[in-house]
Amino acid sequence: MRKKVILVCEVCLSRNYTALKHKERQERLSMKKYCKRCDKHTVHKETK
């Protein structure tokens, strides 16, 4: 089963993306995505 999570930009803290992840996975999701507000690629992490 998958769970919907929200990804937040580490630089400007805007919530730009949503992603799906497995419920059994304990570590937080982290990926490099484009941020419209920063106008560049930054690391986006899963929120609590």
* pTM confidence score: 0.84
CA distances in angstroms from 4 to 15, 20, 27, 46, listed in the order given: 14, 5, 15, 10
The residues pairing with 1 across neighbouring beta strands, listed in sequence order, are: none
CA distances in angstroms from 13 to 26, 28, 34, listed in the order given: 22, 16, 13
**Domain harbouring 8, CATH code:** 2.20.28.120
**Position 48 confidence tier, pLDDT thresholds 50, 70, 90:** confident
- Number of domains composing the chain: 1
Quote the domain boundaries for residue 13: 2-46
Q: Which pLDDT tens digit goes with each residue over 23-32? A: 888 899 999 9
- Name the token pair of 8: 């937040």
CA 21 from centre of chain: 11
